[in-house]
């Protein structure tokens, strides 16, 4: 099997990957990590647009008080599906796409460890996404229970709930297979000389994320399976009348749900840790401390789940424990923010589009972290629980955190992926429109939440009208801005100027400069032949 590598490091093994197919079957049967990474990225963007349309339905209804556009049942279905599709269909597959594309190249491996399982873990996703969409067309429609699928609401729903449970199972299977693949690739397929503490940080964040996914996805599967048996097989896990407990569901769900937040955030940290040193023209500050901080965040994420549950009536001792454990996460997170800022300090900074998104991420994610710290305090959270303050907080973490990092990563690696340069002016327009409209949408929701506006409701008193109007206008601006992103990417693929050998001058030469030991003999400019 002879490997051929072109000037941009695009290695393809002859005949091996595509089985001689062309056209559509090439994509259905491919085991090439780059093809699979590309499919993940396109799928996630499609789901992002679908979930975005649902968000715009929500914001259109909330533009003014009273019921305008949709009935309350459909409104609840929109909030449920928007959350599920964005988390499991848009953000997570996007970072798995990055992992597929980059990890083999960054560690000098010829491909992922389990190439056929890689193909399978992708092709499960469109079917899972289809099940979620199909649930709208069943009697009773999609489940209108919130994306957390809390019992006992889930017992009353129609067949759409069963389709959703099945979809969650499929999405979880995909995540577990993808994670096993990534962990195995990183641990077993590094090129000679590529020790763990020499890996690019993106590989580290995905190694840790892979372990998190393998640990918590079965927990979610358990929660929805218990829901299924409660619905159809006469069990009473979450039914108080049968001796069960609806709060048990919350414990199981959030034991998955809180590590899940970091499953989304950690790969974003990895992407930003690649972009910032490149555009600062200096190595990442505190490489080892970044690795340990990432691991520390992952470990702590397992012992803070009940901070989502301060209002269920847990003992004060329990509240105290979860409050202290949650505030503790601020320390490793603070280490990361400090190191990113220290990397930029006195660097030769330039602000191309990837760096703009990384800087936007740094500023807004930190703000989201601060509001998270506010919500970690029991007495404050009891007041703000289930208000728009929480919505604002997690959109600062998910959108300004994960999504901004993903946009930055796409702009950063597009020259490598396509061999062409994107339109820098349009990229900057995309950044500024996204940045401004994001803040117009979500910053004002802090005010609504502090004033007591509850979330997940289709109607509200007149006193909340102003900020809801502002928020809705921002949301439509934000949504339309993403069409510009699609245009930039398609224009780059079709007619972009040929990318130079090193599109971000100075970015590639820094790989080894943080190390106390000399670089190994392998430079990773080409793919090694690991026969």
**DSSP code for 122:** H
Contact 131, 170 (CB under 8 A): yes
Cis peptide leading into residue 152 (ω within 30°): yes
Q: Please, what is the angle between helix 33-61 and helix 92-107, to 10°?
A: 160
Name the DSSP class of 67. Answer: -
- Catalytic annotation, residues: 82, 111, 147, 174-175, 258, 260, 262, 273, 307-308, 333, 336, 455
What gap in Å lies between CA 353 and CA 322, rounded to an integer?
Answer: 39
- Integer Rg of the chain from CA: 23
- Contact assessment for residue 282 and residue 345, using Cβ atoms and an 8 Å cutoff: no
* Two tokens, residue 146: 């919130």
End-to-end CA distance of the chain: 8
Q: Which residues, 6+ apart, have CB-to-CB distance to 483 below 8 Å?
A: none
Q: 């990957």: which residue's tokens?
A: 17
| Strand, coil or helix: 309 | coil
Q: Are 524 and 5 in contact (CB under 8 A)?
A: no
Length of the chain: 531
- Are the C-beta atoms of 406 and 272 separated by less than 8 Å? no
**∠ CA(332), CA(333), CA(334), 5° rounding?**
90
Query: What are the two backbone dihedrals, phi and then psi, of residue 511, each rounded to the nearest 5 degrees?
Result: -55, -35
Given a contact cutoff of 8 angstroms between Cβ atoms, the answer to whether 181 and 112 are in contact is yes
11 has which bridge partners?
5
DSSP secondary structure string for all residues of 229-267: HHHHS---SS-GGGT--HHHHHHHHHHHHHHHHHHHHHH
Distance between CA atoms of 270 and 147, rounded to whole angstroms? Answer: 27
The Cα 421–Cα 491 span in angstroms is: 9
Q: Which residues of 470-503 are buried (b: 16+ CB within 10 A; e: fewer)?
A: bbbebbbbbbebbebbeebbeebeeebeebeeeb
Contacts of 145 (CB under 8 A, 6+ apart): 76, 80, 153, 154, 157, 161
Q: Which residues contact 156 (CB under 8 A, 6 or more apart)?
A: none
Q: How many CA atoms lie within 13 A of 302 on its CB side?
A: 13
- Asked if 255 and 305 touch (Cβ cutoff 8 Å), the reply is yes
Report how far residue 18's alpha carbon sits from residue 28's, in angstroms, rounded to the nearest whole number: 9
């Amino acid at each position: 099997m002879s490997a051929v590598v072109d000037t941009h490091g695009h290695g393809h093994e002859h005949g091996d990957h595509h089985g001689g197919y062309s056209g559509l079957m090439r994509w259905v049967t491919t085991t090439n990590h780059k093809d699979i990474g590309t499919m993940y990225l396109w799928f996630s963007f499609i789901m992002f647009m679908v979930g975005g349309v649902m968000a715009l339905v929500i914001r259109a209804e909330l533009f003014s008080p009273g019921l305008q556009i949709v009935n309350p049942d459909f409104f609840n279905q929109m909030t449920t599906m928007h959350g599920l599709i964005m988390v499991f269909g848009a953000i997570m597959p996007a970072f798995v796409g990055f992992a597929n594309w980059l990890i083999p190249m960054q560690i000098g491996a010829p491909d992922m460890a389990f190439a056929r399982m890689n193909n399978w873990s992708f092709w499960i996703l469109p079917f899972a996404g289809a099940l979620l969409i199909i649930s709208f067309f069943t009697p009773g429609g999609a489940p209108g229970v919130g994306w957390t699928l809390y019992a006992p609401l889930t017992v009353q729903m129609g067949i759409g709930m069963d389709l959703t449970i099945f979809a969650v199972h499929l999405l979880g299977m995909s995540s577990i297979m993808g994670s096993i693949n990534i962990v195995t690739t990183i641990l077993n397929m590094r090129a000679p000389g590529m020790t763990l503490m020499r890996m690019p940080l993106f590989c580290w964040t995905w190694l840790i994320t892979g372990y998190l996914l393998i640990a918590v996805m079965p927990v979610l599967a358990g929660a929805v399976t218990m829901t299924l048996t409660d619905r159809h097989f006469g069990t009473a896990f979450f039914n108080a009348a049968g001796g069960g407990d609806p709060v048990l569901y919350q414990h199981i769900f959030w034991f998955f749900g809180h590590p899940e937040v970091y499953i989304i955030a950690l790969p974003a940290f990895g992407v930003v840790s690649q972009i910032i040193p490149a555009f600062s023209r200096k190595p990442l500050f505190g490489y080892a401390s970044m690795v340990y901080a990432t691991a520390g965040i992952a470990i702590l994420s397992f012992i803070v789940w009940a901070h989502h549950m301060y209002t269920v009536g847990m003992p004060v001792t329990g509240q105290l424990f979860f409050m202290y454990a949650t505030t503790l996460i601020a320390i490793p997170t603070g280490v990361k923010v400090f190191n990113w800022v220290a990397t930029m300090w006195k660097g030769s900074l330039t602000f191309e589009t990837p760096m703009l998104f990384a800087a936007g991420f740094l500023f807004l994610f930190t703000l989201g972290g601060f509001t998270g710290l506010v919500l970690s305090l029991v007495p404050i959270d009891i007041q703000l629980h289930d208000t728009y303050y929480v919505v604002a907080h997690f959109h600062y973490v998910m959108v300004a955190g994960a999504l901004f990092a993903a946009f930055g990563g796409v702009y950063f690696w597009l020259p490598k992926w396509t061999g062409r340069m994107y339109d820098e002016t349009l990229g900057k327009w995309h950044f500024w429109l996204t940045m401004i409209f994001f803040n117009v949408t979500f910053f004002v929701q802090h005010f609504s939440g502090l004033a007591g506006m509850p979330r997940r409701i289709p109607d509200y008193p007149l006193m909340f009208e102003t900020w809801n109007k502002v928020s809705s206008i921002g949301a439509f601006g934000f949504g339309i801005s993403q069409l510009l992103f699609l245009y930039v990417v398609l224009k780059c693929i079709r007619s972009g100027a040929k990318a130079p050998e090193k599109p971000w001058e100075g970015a590639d030469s820094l790989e080894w400069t943080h190390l106390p030991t000399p670089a190994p003999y392998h430079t990773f400019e080409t793919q090694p032949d690991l026969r």
